Amino acid sequence: MYKIIRAEELTANIFLMEVEAKRVADACKPGQFVIVRKDEDGERIPLTICDYDTEKGTITIVFQIVGAATQMMAELKAGDSFHDFVGPLGCASEFVGEDLESLKKKKMLFVAGGVGTAPVYPQVKWLHEHGIEADVIVGAKTKDLLILEEEMKSVAGNLYITTDDGSYGRSGMVTQTIKELVEEGKKYDVCVAIGPMIMMKFVCLQTKELGIPTIVSLNPIMVDGTGMCGACRVTVGDEVKFACVDGPEFDGHKVNFDEAMKRQQIYKTEEGRAFLKAKEGATHHGGCGHCS
Ligand code: NAD
Ligand code: FES
């Protein structure tokens, strides 16, 4: 059992939990995710890690209520426990393995949208701890939906907040702020965009035009997080990839977002899943081996 030592509602329907999981915390790197289950019969939920503390042996997760399983998770309080807390899973962010001196010369821009702010935080924090100050744009629909502002402020080189309705910070979507920063003369060597699929798609269209290589995290299309369900199948360049085993981070300029979003819709029904299985054959799953 994995004890929750802190449980907070950050804003409407978005919850933060700090969980005792020493072995996960010891091995964790930015960009990775965990799979949690509230109880023995619970749904498996893949969540990108928001923070980790190797001294305390804890992992922090942030999640939004999107269905029955996350609703039940949101009811847990400090002192309660998760039945399963598996990880760290997936590949770490690529920059973690880069030569630190070359990395220090790069100008990095992070673009976080809504709940996607949570997985951006450990990446920016890791860079800050290694002497690299990145620019960060955080976008939310309104001021009330903004999360982790203070945490992000403490690790970002420059933090730009933007709200769609202009209720706080700059006005407009994250792409508007990217445009403004570039017009103000900012130059970036790499962009990391994490948020809703539609946001990542439009950030990638924009950064492609601007010539800024861009990494995205495809956590939103995962279901079981183990390569078995086939939900996170995505075309990257001319290759079929699975977000949970090959990612979750990919070259955003190569991701076929339209296909991934359409497939995500089809996957929701039993009939849709049967259709995808028939159409995709042996490439339907991410490595279970049952198809071939
Ligand atoms: P949201 O819909 O409130 O959007 C957040 C911000 O994204 C907006 O404020 C805006 O600035 C930007 N955005 C949205 N649509 C855009 C567009 N068409 N063009 C440019 N920018 C746009 O976000 P939310 O409701 O907090 O997000 C929930 C989604 O985030 C879920 O789908 C969830 O799966 C996803 N999510 C993704 C990750 C990840 O790893 N990529 C992690 C957690 C959550
Ligand atoms: Fe099921 Fe990746 S989430 S195959």
pTM higher than 0.85: yes
Burial of 279 from C-beta contacts in 10 A (0-12 / 13-18 / 19+)? exposed
User: Which overall architecture, per CATH, does domain 2-89 show?
Assistant: Beta Barrel (2.40)
Query: How far is residue 118's CA from residue 97's CA, in Å, rounded to a whole number?
Result: 21
Query: How far is residue 277's CA from residue 195's CA, in Å, rounded to a whole number?
Result: 28
Q: Is the CB of 214 under 6 A from ligand 1?
A: no
- Going by C-alpha positions, the residue among 129, 38, 162, 34 that lies closest to residue 90 is 34
Give the CATH number of domain 94-214; options: 3.40.50.80, 3.30.460.10, 3.40.1350.10, 2.60.40.180.
Answer: 3.40.50.80
Burial of 206 from C-beta contacts in 10 A (0-12 / 13-18 / 19+)? buried
Taking the centre of ligand 1 as the mean of its atom positions, its distance from the CA of residue 162, in whole angstroms, is 13
Domain spans in the chain, listed from the N-terminal domain onward: 2-89, 94-214, 218-292
Q: Is the CB of 227 under 6 A from ligand 2?
A: yes
Q: Is the CB of 247 under 6 A from ligand 1?
A: no
Sequence-ordered list of residues with C-beta below 8 angstroms from that of 214, at least 6 positions apart, any chain: 190, 191, 192, 193, 203, 204, 207, 208, 251, 252, 253
Give per-residue pLDDT as tens, 217-262. 999 898 888 888 888 999 999 999 999 999 899 999 999 999 999 9
Query: How far is residue 71's CA from residue 286's CA, in Å, rounded to a whole number?
Result: 28
Pocket test for ligand 1, best of 10, 164, 264 (most atoms within 8 A of CB): 164
The pLDDT of residue 209 is 97
Q: Is the CB of 255 under 6 A from ligand 1?
A: no
In ligand 1, which atom is closest to the CA atom of 197? 32
**Residue nearest ligand 1's atom 6 by CA:** 113
Sequence-ordered list of residues with C-beta below 8 angstroms from that of 100, at least 6 positions apart, any chain: 130
The pLDDT of residue 287 is 57
Q: Which residue has tokens 């290694």? A: 130
- Going by C-alpha positions, the residue among 96, 9, 6, 129 that lies closest to residue 56 is 6
Instruction: For residue 88, give the H/E element and its range.
Output: strand 84-89
In order along its 292 residues, the chain shows pLDDT tens digits of 999 999 999 999 999 999 999 999 999 999 999 999 998 888 889 998 999 999 999 999 999 998 888 999 999 999 999 999 999 999 999 999 999 999 999 999 999 999 999 999 999 999 999 999 999 999 999 999 999 999 999 999 999 999 999 999 999 999 999 999 999 999 999 999 999 999 999 999 999 999 999 999 999 898 888 888 888 999 999 999 999 999 899 999 999 999 999 998 888 888 888 888 888 887 777 655 445 4
**Using an 8 Å Cβ cutoff, are 46 and 147 in contact?**
no
